[in-house]
Chain A
């Protein structure tokens, strides 16, 4: 059974940085296409970005609103996916989910506020 557990969320000031983690079990992150999805309070789901399996290049793609500010990476030794977020804006506030389709983590809350 695949399980994904996110952590690292919290309160950060505009312009600040945060790194989210997604600890995976039941799947080897190195061999998987994995994504991050976010949801602003009371709003719909928004795809953030993805990383391809290592066998398919391990490259990343990002949604336009986060491109150049967010970076997805993984640590094969700990089987963990990361989302590094920089130059955070108030509109980045929301719940962030790690996804290995069809499995979702429970999410971690990011609040960007002064």
Chain B
């Protein structure tokens, strides 16, 4: 099974900050990685697919990068509506989610 190690598990940031979240895969997953945002009581929402492609309707302050086993989600300028929990998902072999990163207001 492919394991996904996501870090940090939580972070505190201010509006306007640049935020970076990382996922490391236990083996290469080509480009089969996405990033999801989840707010309390809601279903997850896809932000990024195929490592770096922005889902339709998602603001351009969100970006994804990486290759092989190391992947990053970056929020260039944190907005009030971005406070949420973020998950990576690999779908190269079955599916595995990262443990999640809770982004809180500093």
Residue positions of A touching B, CB distance < 8 A:
35, 37, 44-47, 50, 61, 63, 97, 101-107
Contact = CB atoms under 8 A, between A and B. Distances in A.
Interface of B: 34, 36, 38, 43-46, 49, 55, 87, 89, 91, 94-100
B55 to A, nearest CB: 6
Interface of A is mostly: strand
Contact of B43 (A35, A61, A106): A106
Given A47-B95, A47-B97, A102 B43 contact: no
A101 B99 contact: no
A72 to B, nearest CB: 13
A45 B100 contact: yes
B87 A44 contact: yes
A59 B15 CA distance: 46
